[in-house]
Structure formats: structure tokens, C-alpha cells
Chains A and B, each alone.
Chain A
Amino acid sequence: MNAAGFPLLSLVTWLPIAGVLFLMSVRGDEETVASNARWGALWTSLVVFALSLVLWVKFNQADGGFQFVENAAWLPQWGISYKLGVDGISVLFVLLSTALTPICILASWDAIQTRVREYMIAFLILETMMVGMFAALDAIVFYMFFEGVLIPMYLIIGVWGGPRRVYAAIKFFLYTLAGSVLMLLALLAIWYQAGTTDLVTLLHTNIPVTMQSWLFIAFFASFAVKVPMWPVHTWLPDAHVEAPTAGSVILAGVLLKMGAYGFLRFSVPMLPVATANFAPFIYTLSVVAVIYTSLVAFAQTDMKKLIAYSSVAHMGVVTIGIFTVNAQGISGALFQMLSHGVVSAALFLCVGVVYDRIHSREIARYGGLASRMPKYAFAFMLFSMASCGLPGTAGFVGEFLVLVGAFKVNFWLAGLGSLGMILGAAYMLYLYRRVIFGVITRDDLKSILDLSAREVMVFAPLVILTMWMGVYPSSFTGFFDAAVNALVDHHHAAIASTSKLAGVFAR
């Protein structure tokens, strides 16, 4: 049994489905159903979050392996089992998912007025899929959760989204699916090679070098779309702009991390040689993403689109960090993923706040909000600063570590990567100035209200997290240090053994 003494991860994964069943059973007029759906979903997600905090408390930080492991027979004759567990790399993402879900539900409290019950059901199913994906320790179980995310997200964008929601939803679905199906073939090939889909075993399985390149390409097709990396990022601005606020929050906060997590879970440990061979290619794409999408972000007139492009740039930093394959780079990438998960989620919530009031996301539509909305201006400022990577906020630590890791690999990689920080500061400050400062010119902005109590409740945990991660990062890095070191050691050992083998053959 595991450290919690009961199947904690299964409970965290499947409890939202129990909430779904409750929501479905509610009868009554539309008002009753909507109110029950809101409260039911909120309480379910809060209970799930409380349960997941057990992971935070009981997780053994010194252990680089998997903890809270559960295993149940599913298709035993064919080497597939229902296996869940977390290591230092995945545990914080489980927590990020469970923490963002109640925030999203709270943020949609008034914004969503139509088909509330279906909306909340979609969010709870999404939570199950996200948590299951991060906790899965079997390749097929992983794939089922990874793909399953598409269903609720497709509906959230398509039903509750903006004017071009249909286009955005279908584009999101097909882009992601096209990448994923190739990954399915790669998983099947690995399964055929190793005879099992158990990730713990697969992490230490040697895959023939010739096969590694093909598998890497297949995984890359899936994860690169999900991250998203340039040039397959184009679904992201569309999806973000059209999705409802909470949809954007989850998309930026958790779904984008799935791709990077996939690289860390599959590509880097299982395909070490291909990882080393493809690293320059990934660096190139990432640097292009960092510089190009930052410049594109600069030119945006829509707030959500600007933040969406900034997400692509920040995730470019993450992929640079992952493929440096040294302790600083990967730790930095993980930290950047977490901080981006909090900060970009918060920025989308900031956009949602003014959108709920004025129903416009045009930057030019705003100006001078500081005088009417001081609390809002403060929150927005903090998250903008964190997004540019100001020391003392969450954004700094991750980018700094990644750049340290990149310096170890190549000076120019680090130099070009750090351009992203400068450009990031430029477009975020420019955005902030245009929205918050200046003089109020429009009448409806003169009567705009500051954050309500509910909105303060939404932002408070994110503000605290942003500061906490910036000021005392080791309470987070402590979770993944051991796992990252094990990953890096394993990678270098694999490379060394392969080159030794190659040397033998060459002789």
C-alpha cells in the first residue's frame, strides 16, 4: 500500500466523476439546477483539492522514485494495468490541477449563465482527466486520459466560447488529435518492444537506437502540438481567445503543461540518444518561439491573444530547459511550468474580470483603470511583473534556472533565450500601461466596479502562490530535486553506455 494508507490518487482522480453523477441527478427548475450545479461543483473540487493536499504533506522529498503507487489488474494477459503513482515531476502538477479547478469554477460563477449544469459537469470531467493524466503510470492509461481531455475541452470552447468558437474548437480538437494518434503508434511500438506498458519498467528499458529517432518524432508530433511549439502553435491563440475565461485558465494553466510533461516523462528518459540528437532542433524551434511569438504578442490588440502568445514564448523557455538535460535546466523548466501555470492563469482571470464588466477585450477600449479599480490594478501588476520574470516573483526563478542550464550547453542558446525576458518585459509593461494607466476617456469605464468579494477570493490564492514561489522557491523545488537528479543521471548513463557500445562496434 502507499504512504496515504488508502488509494489516494484514485480517489482524487475519480471523485469529480462522483460529483458529476450528483450534478446529473439534480431535478428542478433551471434556477435550482444552476445553483445546485455551482455549489455541487465547487464543493466537489474543494474536497478533491483538500484530499490532494495529503500529497503535499506526505510526499517524501528525498525519494526520487514513484510514491503513492496503486496497481490493479486491467488487461493482465497483455501487460496493461491500471497503475497510478506520482514522483517529484508529476506531484506538483496534480496539485496545480486540483488547485486551479475550484478557482475556475469560482471564476465562472456569474460569467456562465447558460447551461450551467453541463458546464460544471464538463469541468469536473476535465479535472478527472487532468489528474489521471499526471498520475498515470501506464502508457495506455496515460494515453486514455491524455486524449480524454479533448472531449470536455472541445465542448467548453465550443458551447460557451466567443463568436468564432466553432472554428476554434474544431481546430483545437483536430490539431491535438493528429499529434496524439502518432503517439499512440509509438506507444504500441514501445509496448511491442518491451512487452509491457508499465512506465516504471519502461523508464529503464533500452530501446534500439535506430528505433529511437522514429519514436521521438512520433512523440514530438503529439507533445509539440500540446506545448505548443512554433510552428504548430496556431491553434492556441484561437482557442484562448474564443474559450470562456475559465477555459483559458485551464488551457494555459494545465493543458499546456501536458506536452512538456510528456517530453519529461517519455522522450527524455526513454529515448536518451534521440533526445541528444534532436536537442539542437528543439533549441532552434524554441528560440524561434521565444523571439517570434514575443514580437507577435507585442503587436496584438486583443488582451487574451497577447497573453496567449506570451504563453507560447514562455513554453519555449520550458522546452529549452527540458532539452538541456541538466539539473538546472530541467528544474528551471519544471519551475517555469508551475509558475506559468499560476501566473498565466491569473492573467487570463484578470482579462476575464474586465471582460465581464465591459464585454470587450480590445486593449484600446481600456485605459486609466488604476483610479477606479485599485485592487484590480495591484493584482494585475503583480502578475504582469511575474510574467516578465521580476525577481521576487514566481516567474524569475524558472527563467533564471533555465538560462543557467542553457549557458552550460551553449552561450548563444542562453543569449537568445534571454531575449525572451526582455521582450516579455516590453510587451507586458506596454499592455499594463495601456490598460491600467492613462486617463479614463469612456463613460462606462468611469463607473466600473473594483473586484468583488468573490473575485478577491479567486485572486488571493494566486497572489499568495506567486509571491511564495518567488520568495521561497525551495519549498517547491524540494519536491522535484531528487527526481530531476535521477532523471539527469539516468540520461547521461544511457548516453555513455550507448557511445561505449558504438565504440565497441566501431572497433
Chain B
Amino acid sequence: MNWILALPELVLACCGMAILVIGVLNKRDMFQACSMLTVGAFLLTAVLVIAGPTGVGYSGMYTADAFSLFVKLMILAAAGLGVIVALDYNEHANMQRFEFPVLVLYAATGMMLMASSSNMMTMYVGVELMSLSIYVLAAFARDELRSAEAGLKYFVLGALASGLMLYGISLVYGFSGSMGFEQMAKVLADPAKVSPGLVVGLVFIVAGLAFKISAVPFHMWTPDVYEGAPTPVTAFMGTAPKVAAMALLIRVMATPFGHLLAQWQQLIVLVAIASMVLGSFAAIAQKNIKRLMAYSSIGHMGYALIGLAAGNAVGVRGVLFYLFTYIFMNAGTFACIIAMRRKGRYVEGIADLAGLSRTDPALAMWLAVFMFSMAGIPPFSGFLGKYFIFTAAVQQGLWTLAVIGVLTSVVGAYYYIRIIKVMYFDAPAEAFDARPGSLSFVAAASGLFTTLFFFYPAPVVAAAEAAAKVLFR
């Protein structure tokens, strides 16, 4: 048995346990130290992921390939940024407990498992490991009503979604006679084997995963949970889990159900259109920037789904590239949001940003960069992401999807530039407290990436293409 394949996950899980022990045994406040160790563990895992072999192991339950490599690196980067933006916030919000980075670490382990799963069981275990960790994280500010409410809401709805997915898995298993992706693909290659029951199962699995990426109509929890959860948790939830769930959705659609393109394409097209439309229109009326980002993320997942709807390697390349640009934009935006602290209290209103360009020009500039980028204005990285998505749509002749996509992106641009308007055109409000170095670092690093990425995107496109080609042989 080739257990070396899963070495990154094993190492990461062991690091998690070690950090937990370190945290428990020390009497002192170990939050900062454990966070640093967690970031170190992520770096170590990233090295192992890059250096590790590819292949199928554990009786076909686990696959390490170019696709999982690309996705895992994105997950680790996003999780690392998530830990860093929490450093200062948790100190101020009285959440400086060492369990925080450990939970992020285990969530990341689950996500990596999702990226590598090639069996319905591995997939489910990965999803649950991720979800359970995030349920706890969402309720991490345990003295705060909003946070507890967010955690509970996410847990109840998430459990429902898990149930749906599990039911779908059981149906699919019953009708295809297998759990492994490869075996299922072989069985389903014969159109006669595709029964309505199997398609129902497929729909349930899509519903369960659509919940995790908060695509319409399974988005209801997103605004409330985003708003209620502690902001660093929101930042984390907006990036890594989305990447992992989207990657899993791609793999499930492409590998076991690859021959059922006709059945699921319509589904994905509808979900994509609904997400883009709702994400752009519902965001207009928002006054809380975290809720706004929730709707924005719904819209972004809609765009990413366009690439999946294309159902070929070009489309998946677009999705991966899009997610790559998205995690940096999102992490940077949330670094700016976490920096919104006035007289020791965190504020979340869009109006609180008024005149930020006068009181903190650097922060305003980075946030403006992220907003322009999310709106898809060149030369920022968000434009390139949209470009590769729409390329796939045009190539496949999905004109309805493409036209609706670009038009909703104009509606989306309205609320993004409204934030810039508040920061640059309005009279200044009281200044925010001094920014800690960790947030400045994440904002500046993500901002520089977002701004300068257009100079040399070729290696990332090539890596995304190599990853996508694995799924469509």
C-alpha cells in the first residue's frame, strides 16, 4: 500500500496534535505561538505536497495528482492567510485561545482530503472534518450572541446539507453498485446503466456541495453566518472551504459523472445564473460590509460555476485560475475589514469607511484595489480570472450564461465602486486605530499580488491547465 501518497495530510494531522499538546501543557497564553506553529505546519505541508509523488492509493480511495496538488496549495495558502489575519483580532476580541489555529489546521486537513478524494467515503469524511471544525470556529466568540447564533445556524443547516449529500451517495451507490469514482465512471459509461434514481442521487450530491460553496438556492445561511462569525473566521470561510468544495464538485462531476454531462450541465447552468443574479442584486442594499462580502462570494461562486458548466478542461482551468485570484482578493479584503477598529471596537458598517482615503491612504488604496479587482476591472487579477471563465463559456457556446455573467458583473461593479465612493468621495469619519503589522502584511501582499499578477500570469495558467487536464483525459 502506497501510504506515502497521503504524507502531507498525515504530517499536517500529526502537527495539529503536537500543537494541541503544546498548547495544553503550557500554562502561559499560547495563542500566538500556536498560530505561528500552525503557519509553519502549513509551509511544511506545502513543501511535502509539491515534492510528493502522484498516484492512486488506499485501495483507490485517495488520489494525488496535478489537480489535487494545485487545489491543496490554494487551500494551504488560504488557511495560512486565515491564521495570520486572526492574530491581532483574537487578542482584541478576547479569543486568544490556542484551539483556534488548531481548528483551522484540522479544517485544512479535511479540505486537503476533499481535494484528493476518489471515493464517496473519503469525500464525505473530508467534508465532515472540514465542516465540523468550521462550525466550532463560527461560534468561537462564545460570549457573543451573534457568534453563537451563527455557529448554531451553520451547524443545523450544514448538518441538513450533509444529510442530503449522504442520502445522494446512498442512492448513487445503490444504482451504480460502487463507491469508487473510477469504478463508477466505468459503470456509467454505458448509458443503459443511468437510471432516474441515480440522477436523483446526483442532484442530492450537487445540493450538498452547493451548500458548501453557498450557491443559490442553498445560500440562505451565508449572509447570517458571515455577519455573525468572528471576522477572521469569515475571512477563512470565504476562501479555503469554497476552494475545497468547488474542487470536490469539479472532481465529482468530471470523474464519476463525467458521462452524465447532459444531466448535470443544465443543473449547474441554472445554479450559476441564480447565484450571479442574486449575488449582484441582493448586495446592493447591504449596509454591513461582511454581509456585502457574503453576497459577493455568492456571486463569485456563480462565476466560477460557469467554468464547470462548460464541462471541459478549458472550463475547469478557468475555475481553478479564478479561485486562485479569488483567495488573494478575498483574504486582502478581509484584512482591510479586520483593520476597521475604532477606539478598540470593531466596526462593520460600510459607512464607517467614509473618507478612509484621508485618514489611512494605504488601507484605502488596497481596499480600492480589491474592490476594482472583484468587479473585474483590468489590469487587476480579478479581470484575468473572469477572462478565463468567459473564454470557456464562449468556446462552448454558452452564450446565455456568458451574457448574463457579464451583465451581472456590471451590476456587481456598482456595489464595489460604491465602497470606493465611500472611501474616496465622502467626508472623513473618525480615523481607525493603528493597524497591526500582520494585517498590513496580508493586505499589502495580497494587494501587490492582485495588482502585479497581470505581468506574468503564464505559470499559474499553465499549472491550472495541467491540473484541469488530469480530469479530462
Which of A75, A148, A150, A181 is in CB contact (< 8 Å) with B458? A75
Q: A144-B378, A144-B379, A174-B414 are in contact. Are A158 and B421 (CB under 8 A)?
A: yes
Q: Counting CB contacts under 8 A, is B211 at the interface?
A: no
Q: Counting CB contacts under 8 A, is A4 at the interface?
A: no
- Let me know if A181 and B417 touch, CB within 8 A: no
Once bound together, how far apart are the Cα atoms of A185 and B414, in whole Å?
20
Which of B387, B394, B457, B465 is in CB contact (< 8 Å) with A189? B394
A115 — which chain B residues lie within 8 A by C-beta?
357-358
Which of A140, A170, A192 is in CB contact (< 8 Å) with B418? A170
Within 8 A of B (CB), among A297-332: none
Q: Counting CB contacts under 8 A, is B390 at the interface?
A: yes
B396 to chain A, nearest CB (A): 10
Interface string of B444-473 (1 = CB under 8 A from A): 000000000010011001100100000000
Within 8 A of B (CB), among A144-162: 144-145, 147-148, 150-151, 154-155, 158-159
B190 to chain A, nearest CB (A): 33
Interface string of A174-207 (1 = CB under 8 A from B): 1001100110110011011000000000000000
- Let me know if B406 and A188 touch, CB within 8 A: no
B410 — which chain A residues lie within 8 A by C-beta?
174, 177-178, 181
**Closest A residue to B408 using CB positions:** A181
Which of B372, B383, B407, B458 is in CB contact (< 8 Å) with A178? B407
Q: Counting CB contacts under 8 A, is B303 at the interface?
A: no
A143 — which chain B residues lie within 8 A by C-beta?
378
- Let me know if B414 and A76 touch, CB within 8 A: no
**Closest B residue to A191 using CB positions:** B391
Q: Counting CB contacts under 8 A, is A166 at the interface?
A: yes
A251 to chain B, nearest CB (A): 18
- Let me know if A155 and B461 touch, CB within 8 A: no
B402 — which chain A residues lie within 8 A by C-beta?
185, 188
Once bound together, how far apart are the Cα atoms of A169 and B394, in whole Å?
31
Q: Counting CB contacts under 8 A, is B58 at the interface?
A: no
A192 — which chain B residues lie within 8 A by C-beta?
391, 394-395
- Let me know if A159 and B454 touch, CB within 8 A: no
Q: A181-B406, A181-B407 are in contact. Are A158 and B394 (CB under 8 A)?
A: no
Within 8 A of B (CB), among A98-122: 115, 118
Once bound together, how far apart are the Cα atoms of A50 and B383, in whole Å?
33
A145 — which chain B residues lie within 8 A by C-beta?
378
Q: Counting CB contacts under 8 A, is B377 at the interface?
A: yes
Q: Counting CB contacts under 8 A, is B367 at the interface?
A: no
Q: Counting CB contacts under 8 A, is A77 at the interface?
A: yes
Q: Counting CB contacts under 8 A, is A173 at the interface?
A: yes
- Let me know if B394 and A188 touch, CB within 8 A: yes
B458 — which chain A residues lie within 8 A by C-beta?
73-77
Which of A73, A169, A182 is in CB contact (< 8 Å) with B425? A169
- Let me know if B378 and A147 touch, CB within 8 A: yes
B33 — which chain A residues lie within 8 A by C-beta?
none
Interface string of B381-406 (1 = CB under 8 A from A): 00100010011001100000011001
Once bound together, how far apart are the Cα atoms of A148 and B361, in whole Å?
21
Further pairs besides A181-B376, A185-B390: 17, Cβ < 8 Å: A76-B458, A77-B465, A140-B387, A144-B454, A145-B378, A148-B379, A159-B357, A159-B425, A166-B425, A174-B417, A177-B375, A177-B413, A178-B410, A185-B402, A188-B391, A189-B394, A191-B391
Residues of A participating in the B interface, judged by any CB pair closer than 8 Å: 73-78, 115, 118, 140, 143-145, 147-148, 150-151, 154-155, 158-159, 165-166, 169-170, 173-174, 177-178, 181-182, 184-185, 188-189, 191-192
Residues of B participating in the A interface, judged by any CB pair closer than 8 Å: 357-358, 361, 372, 375-379, 383, 387, 390-391, 394-395, 402-403, 406-407, 409-410, 413-414, 417-418, 420-421, 424-425, 454, 457-458, 461-462, 465
Q: Would you list 25 pairs from A and B whose C-beta atoms are within 8 A, ordered by A residue? A: A75-B457, A77-B458, A115-B357, A140-B387, A144-B378, A148-B377, A154-B417, A155-B424, A158-B421, A159-B357, A166-B425, A170-B414, A170-B418, A173-B417, A174-B414, A174-B417, A177-B377, A177-B410, A178-B407, A178-B410, A181-B376, A184-B387, A184-B390, A185-B390, A189-B394
